[in-house]
Structure 1
Amino acid sequence: MTGSPTALRLDGKRVLITGASRGIGADIARTFAAAGARLLLSGRDRRTLETLADTVDAETEVLVADLSSPEGPTVLADEAVGVYDGIDVLVNNAGISYPEAVDALDTAHFDQVLQVNLRAPSLLAARVGRSMAESGGGSIITVASAAALRPLPEHYAYCTSKAGIIMATKILALELGGRGVRANSICPTVVLTDMGQKVWGDPVKSAPMLGRIPAGRFAVPSEVSNTALWLASDASAMINGVDLPVDGGYLVS
């Protein structure tokens, strides 16, 4: 079973994806829909979410949520669990970044990045993970970053938040693994989403980074989505508590 193509199917699985409006989240939604999942798409922009829902061939519900608000993560968790009477897969994808040097650090930006990238997914995963454990298991997938494992200049808050969420994910794996819940992190290098293009589109800025990636290029969204599909599926049934680089060799260079 593990080695068969059917192991990469998600037929009937109830999947909550945060930050699903665009970029990596939207690509994960399309990939999971093609694999047979039932989708719960979360983000702040209802219109964009509904447009995406109309384009995927899957049972799909839209959940508008502001994960930066104090009660946002727990409200979303409770609402999402109620839609399909449980969740089998959580993809914690929502995230933000304000690239800036340490000596120009904006306190409000720092707080917002930690709120969205660390506090919100940690609380959401804890709440959803408890529900999964009570229902027999599930898979929690954190979209972290190679910047959690190797420092990146001008990304003080971002690196801090992503390193923290990796450790939170490991604790989920440790505490809930015995109750059928797996929790793993994906750590991509730069991904060429709209946000990735905005930050890294300048060749002067991107050249040194590309020079540290043996593959000689940045990632594309499908490479993260396909990794998430594997971690959500039965094909990765023995994978728990790992932080998996999708980086073209960046971390070994």
Structure 2
Amino acid sequence: MSDILGYNGKRVIVTGCFSGMGAATAKLLLDLGAEVHGLDYKPSDLPLASFNLVDLRDPASIEAGVAAIGGTVGALFNCAGLPQSFPPMDVMKVNFIGLRHLTEQVLPLMAPGGAVASIASTGGMGWSRRIPLNIEFVTTKGFDAAVAWCEEHLEDTVREGYSFSKENVIVWTQFMGAQLIKRGIRINCTLPSPTQTPMMATFHAASGKEVVDAAAEPMGRYSTPEEQAGGLVLLNSDLASIVNGVVLPVDGGFMGGVATGQVDLSVMMRRAKPQE
């Protein structure tokens, strides 16, 4: 059982492979013998089977990138993302609208046994309080319709973009889990704890270091990109063949601590101070 995860020779796609969790995921998959095809806004220096520049804010760019890969795809890893320091509509396009559009382009390339894993966030924890609104948004048809919905709800719902985008990765994953399993395809997502990536300084500036640190409890440290890659690779592996529609905390016990009253959310719930 040397290939218990089933990646040896499997064709996979990793978005966001330039740095952070995406780069760590691509490296781990290469080590496991996968044929890794990368998509990102910046070039990757990893020894990938192919790499294509893709802007998730542009549906034509997404379609061209996926078409360049072609063939049969066994697994998709949606790792690209933007923090809340970018314009809200850019955040929404990259973190959800573009992610959804790219996934929709890849799904026809998948046979039964295929799998999709996306990175969400504990920043989307509020999803359960407004499921009808999330469902309305995630079931919009096409890239342009999703953009129009966001523009109409920019001030009252989308706001800074980050939290709402991650809420909808969570809700869409659960919604699509019940749809795709009928085709033998699984879809899941992870909720990472704060992770030491190049974006961490941006998160500190936008939310405040004390807020980010509160989300690192009870472990008391930030996770590494490699630790987050492990959760993603496990979800898309053959070993997880019946794991579907799952929102998996990869957080050192944060969600468990919240559920049992051992993590104080009051610091996290404070709004970031306005930037000077």
The CA deviation at 1:207 is: 3.5
TM-score (norm. length: structure 2): 0.75
Does the aligned pair in 2 maintain the 1:224–1:246 contact within 8 Å? yes
Question: Which residue in 1 is equivalent to 2:10?
Answer: 13
Question: Which residue in 2 is equivalent to 1:52?
Answer: 46
Q: Does 1:22 align with 2:11?
A: no
Q: Give ranges in structure 1 of 5+ residues lacking alignment.
A: 54-58, 100-107
Q: Does 1:143 align with 2:119?
A: yes
Matches within 5 A, 1:227-238: 227-238=231-242
Matches within 5 A, 1:133-172: 135-150=111-126, 156-172=160-176
Q: Does 1:207 align with 2:210?
A: yes
Alignment coverage as a number of residue pairs: 225
Does the aligned pair in 2 maintain the 1:191–1:220 contact within 8 Å? yes
Matches within 5 A, 1:113-192: 113-132=91-110, 135-150=111-126, 156-192=160-196
Question: Which residue in 2 is equivalent to 1:95?
Answer: 81
Structure 2 distance, partners of 1:144, 1:118, is 9
Structure 2 distance, partners of 1:147, 1:195, is 15
Which consecutive segments of 4 or more residues in structure 1 shift more than 6 A? none
Question: Which residue in 2 is equivalent to 1:31?
Answer: 28
> Deviations along 1:145-167, whole A, 9 cap, x unmatched?
1111259xxx8411100111222
Structure 1 residues 43 and 237: alpha-carbon distance in aligned structure 2, compared to 1, 3 A threshold: same
Structure 2 distance, partners of 1:225, 1:178, is 27
The CA deviation at 1:208 is: 4.5
Structure 1 distance, partners of 2:185, 2:171, is 16
> Deviations along 1:165-203, whole A, 9 cap, x unmatched?
22222232111112110000011021101111443389x
% identical equivalent positions: 28
Does the aligned pair in 1 maintain the 2:84–2:160 contact within 8 Å? no
Structure 1 distance, partners of 2:113, 2:6, is 17
Question: Which residue in 1 is equivalent to 2:59?
Answer: 70
Matches within 5 A, 1:234-253: 234-251=238-255, 252=258, 253=263
Q: Tell me how large the CA RMSD over aligned residues is.
A: 2.3
SS of aligned partner of 1:16: strand
> Deviations along 1:203-231, whole A, 9 cap, x unmatched?
x9333443451111121111111111111
> Deviations along 1:5-43, whole A, 9 cap, x unmatched?
632241011110011111111111100100110010111
Tell me which amino acid in the other structure corresponds to 2:76: L
Structure 2 distance, partners of 1:77, 1:172, is 20
Does the aligned pair in 1 maintain the 2:8–2:32 contact within 8 Å? yes
Structure 2 distance, partners of 1:167, 1:223, is 24
Structure 2 distance, partners of 1:209, 1:62, is 33
